[in-house]
């Protein structure tokens, strides 16, 4: 697969075609409502995404590379817990959604359409109906084959009343949804906690602070759910947390008089509740037989009887995670990615020099080749070959686009024992490294 | 990424849940029209795909693994020619499609819908409009940044009048579409032939015989296109080929009196035309400024003038390639995949044995671990742990599902110098190998 190693030149990349970035948050350069959100502005003005319609965005090359990395991370963790990947249709027949009663319940949020034979469909905003219907169509699944854990990473559609903040509240977005099928409540809860652990690992690896807020845990024997939130001011949810006790919950769960469910271990006077705005980036849900009962989705137990599956569903807002993480990490003018999701890891800037420019560029290409010989750095290195620009001018672009590591080939790179300036953009640190140190450092860069 | 190496057991895989396969092509087990096609039947009855609605199918785990391999193959070749991957919205605003005149032209084939604000949209069957509109929205793309080659692999929607043959003529399908932007006709044609070469490499690597049929090559200076066909009896197109001259073309291009365009180098009497049915799996098309003119999509030339892009578009029917290849390669009862796309490469069957069954299974697990230590075989090995079944019974399943290599651990595997029976299902060959030979052989298995 050697040609993945071809060199990438900034001059040929689809990024930031000379757009002028608004100087401050208040300065709007677009008619679109909700552009006041910083991540949305940064992603638009740096060609990470592009608008197609209100609430619908194209993922441009840098954005899609980040999304594909997130996809690989999620694939990895889902498959590590026995998840098998599928892809269901986007269109769903009306009668399947009528069966669950959600055709009416979802109401105007459902995009609906008719085909040329006048059959009605909706564009799936989620897939409980289709997957349960699928499982009920299989003949004779034995209890020995359970648990079945199926997931997909596909586009979802929701006709939001007020789409805004770019990918955070869009009408077309990427979601990971897993559906699990177990023999009974006990095994379904094992699945539930296995999946919660997998979610924890995913969010830990992304390295952005998150709050895992409980739904009705421990209160009612019935439904069980957890929500994963990134804390951002523009979030739709209010999350209550207390550092002194275990409370982390969506405010919706507090009773009307402000009284908390009794999962709080402290007397009410000692509980120091804080309310923060959060955007939901994941949720886990124990469903029981809600859908399997409707669709008569059953397996055969040891005695050969048909028993309804005990189900769970587990969602991750893929495009939402991407933008919410950028919202949390970025500065006003510079994008910061979760390090593992940065579209490319290393950005090389060779010095502009009237007489020795070619030597600097050749050395940059040589370095790029050395980096990309390492399998984990294939496709991860770009060379800023805009040799008419100063180092400083190009460094601003690199910083703005959030490349994690900038390697500058300045005068010291031409000395007999060359030294390279390496900038860690997230930390804002600069270190000079010898070639050997630089390559050793490159080996430590983890990619996915 | 070691946990991708976990062992895969057939008993836990989502495949062939005891469905009975129709005994012959004529015996129908389903109400769905068009099931007479062999690949469709094989894919349904072996849980490669599952029906969602007429012309819409879920990709189940085995099918999606094959599709993801095809995706990686295509990504590789597209990026090797400078392709940058994007993902455009599925929904497209009416006014953008009105602009090109295709809202009316596509007619009933377009799935259309209205959002809650009564704005009209279509579900994109292709994306010339959206991409050209996107390029026209960029400010100041310099000629130095060209060519720009953007592609996506996304779901497309087409309300086929008569959906049939499963993925071959569906209403929702995966397509790779690339759009290229060049300075003028000359450079656009360079791009055109570069992309044709990439397509040739893709189809060569898939290893299924294909015909590259010309559109109007060499006849008119105007439009230029090539179609890639797999020859299958159920194909919609009629392809004319002659082994004595260079003619390979869609019959549509022959003039009404059967006269061929003058690309045929032989006198008409010596040309031995054959007509075969083909299914189009790819097309390449030089567009010129057809769309860039409509959308005023321009770049800046050296003099700073705005010049319309010279465009091309390049499609690959991803799900169609998958099924058409299966249609070409399979036998009546056994699926055969293009080797590189087989969902898993190695299928291990340990002998059922009342007293030594556990030893056989343990040896199968040991072999699986040795295989999957090789990076290219991660996730590629499955163990048939259904130990109550005979080897023969399990071998039938493996053969039917088209696993390329079956490794049988029979009595000889228990001898002091173990011998393993290795079956190459495509060739129908059986060889006995020592452990060393088997591992050396495993090293030669190419994956993607």
Tens-digit pLDDT profile for residues A71-128: 999 999 999 999 999 999 999 999 999 999 999 999 999 999 999 999 999 999 999 9
pLDDT at residue A255, as a whole number = 61
User: Can you give the CATH number for the domain in which A418 is found?
Assistant: 3.40.50.800
B153, B318 contact by CB (below 8 A): yes
A218 pLDDT more than 50: no
Residue A218 shares a structural domain with residue A308: yes
The answer to whether residues B307 and B370 belong to one domain is no
Which among A1, A50, A121 is the top mutation candidate for probing chain B, defined by the most B β-carbons within 10 Å of its own β-carbon? A50
Q: Across the interface, do A56 and B85 touch by the CB < 8 Å criterion? A: no
Sign of the alpha-carbon dihedral angle for B257, B258, B264, B267: negative
Same domain, B284 and B135: yes
Backbone angles phi, psi at A111, to 5 degrees: -80, 120
Q: Is the pLDDT of residue A248 over 90?
A: no
Q: Is B222 a domain residue?
A: yes
Q: For a pLDDT cut of 70, what percent of chain A falls above it?
A: 89
When scoring A54, A66, A86, A136 by the number of chain B Cβ atoms within 10 A, the one with the most, hence best to mutate, is A86
Residue B47 within any structural domain of the chain: no
Single residue among B294, B328, B362 that ends a domain in this structure: B328
Question: What pLDDT is attached to residue B27?
Answer: 47
Q: Do B76 and A145 touch (CB under 8 A)?
A: no
Q: For A401-412, what is the mean pLDDT? A: 97
Per the listing, tokens 């290229």 go with B180
Largest CA distance in chain B: 85
B365 and B319 both lie in a single domain = no
Q: Do A157 and B89 touch (CB under 8 A)?
A: no
- Choose the mutation target among B3, B11, B48, B58 for the interface with A, i.e. most A CBs under 10 Å: B58
The answer to whether the Cβ–Cβ distance between A85 and B64 falls below 8 Å is: yes
Same-domain status, A379 and A273: no
Domain that holds residue A270: 62-88+127-328
Q: What's the pLDDT tens digit per position in A421-443?
A: 999 999 999 999 999 999 999 99
User: What pLDDT is attached to residue A5?
Assistant: 52
Whether the Cβ atoms of residue B339 and residue B444 lie closer than 8 Å to each other: no
Whether residue A196 is found in the same domain as residue A253: yes
Whether residue A373 is predicted with pLDDT greater than 50 in this model: the reply is yes
Query: Taking CB atoms and an 8 Å limit, are B84 and A61 in contact across chains?
Result: yes
Tens digits of per-residue pLDDT, A300-347? 999 999 999 999 999 999 999 999 999 999 999 999 999 999 999 999
- Same domain assignment for residues B227 and B133: yes
Distance from the Cα of B244 to chain A's closest Cα (Å) equals 36
Q: What is the DSSP string of B376-411?
A: GGTT-EEE---TTS-HHHHHHHHHHHT-SEEEEE-G
How far is the alpha carbon of B278 from chain A, nearest alpha carbon, in Å? 27
The pLDDT value recorded for residue A250 is 83
- H/E stretch holding A416: none
CB B278 within 8 A of CB B232: yes
For chain B, the domain total comes to 2
Residue A185 to chain B, least CA–CA distance (Å): 20
Unique residue bearing structure tokens 């090293």: B443
Interchain CB distance below 8 Å, A17 and B141: yes
More confident residue, A410 or A26: A410
User: Within a domain: residue A315?
Assistant: yes
Tell me which of A2, A47, A53 to substitute to probe the interface with B (most B C-beta atoms closer than 10 Å).
A53
- Does any domain span residue B35? no
CB contact under 8 A, A76 and B145: no
Chain A nearest CA to B115, separation (Å): 7
Both tokens assigned to A446: 């983890």
Judge if A283 and A357 occupy the same domain: no
Asked if residue B145 and residue B240 are part of one domain, the reply reads: yes
Report the gap between the CA of A122 and the closest CA in chain B (Å): 10
Go through B219-252 and write b for each residue having 16 or more CB atoms within 10 A of its CB, e for each that does not.
eeeeebbbbbbbbbebbebbbbbbeebebbbbee
* Closest approach of A430 to chain B, Cα-based (Å): 30
Q: Same domain for A394 and A360?
A: yes
pLDDT (0 to 100) of residue B30: 47
Q: Residue B309: which CATH number?
A: 3.30.930.10
Q: Tell me whether residues B116 and A13 touch, CB distance under 8 A.
A: no
pLDDT in tens, chain B (448 residues): 344 457 999 999 998 776 655 554 444 444 445 567 999 999 999 999 999 999 999 999 999 999 999 999 999 999 999 999 999 999 999 999 999 999 999 999 999 999 999 999 999 999 999 999 999 998 779 999 999 999 999 999 999 999 999 999 999 999 999 999 999 999 999 999 999 999 999 999 999 999 998 865 433 344 689 999 999 999 988 888 887 776 788 877 766 555 565 556 666 677 778 889 999 999 999 999 999 999 999 999 999 999 999 999 999 999 999 999 999 999 999 999 999 999 999 999 999 988 898 999 999 999 999 999 999 999 999 999 999 999 999 999 999 999 999 999 999 999 999 999 999 999 999 999 999 999 999 999 999 9
User: How far is residue B204's CA from residue B198's CA, in Å, rounded to a whole number?
Assistant: 10
Subunit contact B91:A157, Cβ cutoff 8 A: yes
* Nearest residue on chain B to A94, alpha-carbon basis: B53
Q: What pLDDT was estimated at residue B271?
A: 74
Using an 8 Å CB-CB cutoff, list chain B residues near A161.
Answer: 116
Shortest CB distance from B144 goes to which of A11, A57, A108?
A: A11
Note whether residue B361 is domain-resident: yes
Please report which confidence band the pLDDT of residue A243 belongs to, taking 50, 70 and 90 as the band edges: confident
Q: Do B4 and A59 touch (CB under 8 A)?
A: no
Average pLDDT value for chain A: 90
Please check whether residue B363 lies inside any domain of the structure.
Answer: yes
Residues of B in contact with A12 (CB under 8 A): 82, 145
* A322 phi/psi in degrees, rounded to 5: -55, -55
Q: Which two tokens stand for residue B127?
A: 């994306």
**B-chain residues within 8 Å CB-CB of A389?**
none
Residues B414, B274 share a domain: no
How far does the CA of residue B219 sit from the closest CA of chain A (Å)? 34
Comparing CB atoms, the residue among B79, B84, B89 nearest residue A58 is: B89
CB contact under 8 A, A52 and B93: yes
Residue pair A91/B157 in contact (Cβ under 8 Å)? The answer is yes
Report strand pairing: B429-434 vs B84-85: unpaired
Q: How many Å apart are CA B433 and CA B419, to the nearest integer?
A: 5
Contact A111 B111 (CB under 8 A): no
Is B77 among the domain residues? yes
Q: Residue ranges of the alpha helices (H) in A220-336?
A: 290-294, 318-329
Cβ–Cβ under 8 Å, residues A188 and A195: no
| Residue A334 maps to a domain | no
Instruction: Compute CA A312 distance to the chain's CA centroid, rounded to the nearest angstrom.
Output: 21
Task: Pick the residue of A59, A89, A298 with the most B CBs within 10 A to test the interface with B by mutation.
Answer: A89
Write down which residue in A286, A301, A328 finishes a domain: A328
Clarify whether residues A284 and A248 are in a common domain.
Answer: yes
Count Cβ–Cβ pairs < 8 Å, chain A vs chain B.
Answer: 169
What is the rounded distance in angstroms from the CA atom of residue A156 to the CA atom of residue A144? 33
Q: What is the pLDDT of residues A386-400, one digit of tens each?
A: 999 999 999 999 999
Q: Which of A328, A363, A381 is the last residue of a domain?
A: A328
């Amino acid at each position: 697969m050697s040609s993945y190693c071809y060199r990438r030149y900034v001059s040929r990349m689809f990024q930031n075609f000379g757009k002028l970035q608004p100087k401050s948050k208040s300065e709007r350069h677009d008619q679109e409502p909700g552009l006041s959100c910083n991540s949305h502005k940064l992603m638009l003005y740096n060609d990470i995404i592009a608008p197609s319609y209100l609430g619908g965005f194209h993922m441009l090359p840098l954005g899609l590379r980040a999304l594909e990395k997130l996809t690989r991370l999620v694939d990895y963790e889902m498959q590590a817990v026995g998840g098998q990947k599928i892809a269901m249709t986007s269109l769903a027949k009306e009668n399947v959604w009528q069966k669950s009663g959600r055709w009416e319940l979802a109401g105007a949020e459902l995009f609906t359409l008719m085909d040329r034979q006048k059959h009605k469909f909706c564009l799936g905003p989620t897939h409980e109906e289709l997957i349960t219907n699928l499982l009920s169509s299989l003949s004779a699944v034995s209890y020995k084959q359970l648990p079945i854990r199926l997931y997909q990473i596909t586009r979802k559609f929701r006709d939001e009343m007020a789409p805004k903040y770019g990918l955070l509240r869009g009408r077309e977005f990427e979601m990971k949804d897993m559906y699990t099928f177990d023999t009974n409540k006990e095994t379904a809860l094992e699945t539930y906690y296995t999946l919660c652990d997998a979610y924890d690992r995913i969010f830990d690896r992304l390295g952005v602070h998150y709050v895992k807020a409980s739904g009705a845990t421990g209160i009612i024997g019935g439904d069980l759910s957890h929500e994963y939130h990134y804390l951002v001011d523009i979030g739709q949810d209010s999350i209550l947390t207390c550092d002194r006790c275990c409370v982390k919950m969506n405010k919706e769960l507090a009773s009307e008089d402000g009284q908390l469910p009794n999962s709080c271990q402290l007397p009410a006077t000692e509980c120091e509740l804080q309310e923060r705005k959060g955007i939901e980036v994941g949720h886990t849900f124990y469903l029981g037989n809600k859908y399997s009962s409707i669709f008569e989705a059953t397996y055969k137990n040891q005695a050969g009887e048909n028993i309804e599956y005990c189900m769970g569903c587990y969602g991750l807002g893929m495009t939402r995670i991407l933008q919410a993480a950028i919202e949390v990490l970025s500065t006003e003018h510079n994008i910061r990615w979760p390090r593992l999701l940065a579209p490319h890891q290393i950005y090389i800037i060779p010095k502009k020099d009237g007489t020795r420019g070619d030597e600097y560029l050749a050395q940059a290409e040589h370095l790029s080749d050395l980096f990309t010989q390492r399998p984990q750095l294939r496709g991860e290195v770009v060379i800023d070959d805009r040799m008419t620009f100063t180092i400083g001018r190009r460094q601003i672009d690199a910083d703005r686009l959030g490349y994690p590591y900038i390697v500058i080939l300045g005068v010291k790179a031409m000395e007999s024992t060359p030294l390279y300036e390496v900038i860690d953009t997230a930390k804002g640190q600069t270190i000079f490294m010898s070639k050997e140190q630089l390559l050793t450092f490159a080996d430590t860069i983890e990619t996915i």
